[in-house]
Structure 1
Amino acid sequence: MVGRLREMRCEVSFLKNADGSASFSQGATCVWASCSGPGDVHASKANEEAMTLDVSYRTNCGDNKFHELNNIIQSTLSKAINLELFPHTSAAVTIHGIQDDGSIGAVALNGACFALLDNGMPFETVFCGVLVVRLKDELIVDPTAKQEAASTGRVLFSICRGSDGGPEVCSMDAIGPWDFEQLEAAWCYAQPSARAIFDFYRNVMQRKHSVDEQ
């Protein structure tokens, strides 16, 4: 098994016209994420009981309207954010894939979380993304594009921090043949990476707020 995350870098408040934003990278994979809202919503989209989320992942080329990552990002945000605090409003979360050298789905989730943290959105729990692939008989976490292309199975974990502080599965997207034991092994393998990402969140946001207070 190969379980070391690539180097993570983040700059929050990266886009000046957004309420919250981040430039986030793992290795050579990079996304820009932004969040605007809560704000006004068109009457046709208004929800009397909760805030409406408009999630969009965009690549540098091709059709971005129905990208496959939108579903897991939308599902994760709907569980992680306290939407009921802002009925009759909407928030737009946009993630731009700048460079893809593997694990783009996980990096998109992590960038989105940073943008929401920068925005000050009320969380039920923070979340992160971890991709695990199977390459021959080996499991690899946070693979490069070359490793991902050669893999025989991929599973993207959307992971929330539970009430005890430990990682819990929020959503999951598996591609290729996986049996229960393999998925269980992949999940056990993803948990230390999730803890490392949550620690990175805390360090980045503490640094941001310490600078803001000066």
Structure 2
Amino acid sequence: MEKQKDEKSGNEKLRQMSCEFNSLSRCDGSVMYSQGATIVIAAVIGPVETKTQNLCIDGSYLECNYRPKAGLPQVKERIREAAIRDVLELALLSESYPRSKMSVQVQELEDRGSMDACALNASCLAMLIGGLPMKYSFAAVHCIINEKGEIVLDPDLSEMQHQRASFTFAFDSVEGNLLLIQTKGSFKIAEFNDIECLCRAASAQIFEFYRSHLANYHGRASKETATTPMEET
């Protein structure tokens, strides 16, 4: 019985996260983000001048595009793109730059599970590193219930093949409010509540990841600027 508990607790951990900032040159900010073997690159541009048809007097227009690893976007990618846009619009402080456009581009590099959550997290980091005005940052977590009734946090592709129900939550960093809920499959209300609590706790790990890596990045940038010798005139 004790072994079963250990195995279950082992399924309640996020996969290893890593990121690389500003790997792209022709944008205002970019990040290559991974959770386990799932890899996404997100880039932001803006604020820039917008076309008349997208002009908003009291705020900025947000453009969001999601591209699959290969081929053209299908229905699944369009749904994912719409979910990302909805969360970004909630987090973006669009009033700061009226009559302008901000663009977020998300490119899937490798989908090995939990792509919806990874794409959202990459988008948040790209907005933070690109300096877009935000009300708060956000973190997304994916979780499933497998055929045995076990909860699996941040599942990989092989674990997702045996899911009975799937959940994706996104939380804001200020009050922990829910920004996104996506569910699929059959589950009980009690299971939903347990998984929400688990994902909320996991989001704290993602926010800590944001803070530590952004602090390291800005610390290195400041150090490099301070130690760069001045050119002779």
Give the TM bin, normalised by the shorter chain.
over 0.9
In the alignment, which residue of structure 1 is the partner of 2:207? 198
Change in CA separation of 1:178 and 1:50 when aligned onto 2, cut-off 3 Å: farther
Q: Secondary structure at the match of 1:44?
A: helix
Give CA-to-partner distance per residue, 1:92-143, whole Å, 9 cap, x none.
1011110011001111011101110111111101001100111021111100
Report if aligned partners of 1:56, 1:65 keep a CA contact under 8 Å in 2.
no
How far residue 65 of structure 1 moved from its aligned partner, in angstroms, is 6.7
Structure 1 gap ranges (5+): none
What letter matches 1:64 in structure 2?
A: P
Could you tell me how far apart the structure 1 residues matched to 2:43 and 2:187 are? 34
Q: If the length of structure 1 is used for normalisation, what is the TM-score?
A: 0.95
Could you tell me how far apart the structure 1 residues matched to 2:74 and 2:45 are? 19
Change in CA separation of 1:162 and 1:178 when aligned onto 2, cut-off 3 Å: farther
Q: Secondary structure at the match of 2:44?
A: strand
Q: Secondary structure at the match of 1:68?
A: helix
Larger radius of gyration: 2
2:33 pairs with 1:15:
no
In the alignment, which residue of structure 2 is the partner of 1:60? 69
Structure 1 stretches (4+) deviating beyond 4 angstroms? none
In the alignment, which residue of structure 1 is the partner of 2:192? 183
Spell out the pairing of 1:1-214 with structure 2 (5 A cutoff). Answer: 1=8, 2-64=11-73, 67-136=78-147, 137-163=149-175, 167-214=176-223
Could you tell me how far apart the structure 2 residues matched to 1:111 and 1:17 are? 17
Could you tell me how far apart the structure 2 residues matched to 1:87 and 1:208 are? 30
Q: If the length of structure 2 is used for normalisation, what is the TM-score?
A: 0.87
Q: Secondary structure at the match of 2:40?
A: strand
Q: Which structure carries more helix by proportion?
A: 2
Structure 2 gap ranges (5+): 1-7, 224-233
How far residue 24 of structure 1 moved from its aligned partner, in angstroms, is 0.3
Could you tell me how far apart the structure 2 residues matched to 1:124 and 1:152 are? 35
Could you tell me how far apart the structure 1 residues matched to 2:92 and 2:41 are? 20
Could you tell me how far apart the structure 2 residues matched to 1:104 and 1:128 are? 13
Could you tell me how far apart the structure 1 residues matched to 2:94 and 2:191 are? 35
What letter matches 1:18 in structure 2?
A: C
The count of aligned residue pairs is 211
**How well do the aligned residues superpose, as a CA RMSD in angstroms?**
1.2
What letter matches 2:145 in structure 1?
A: R
Q: Percent identity?
A: 26
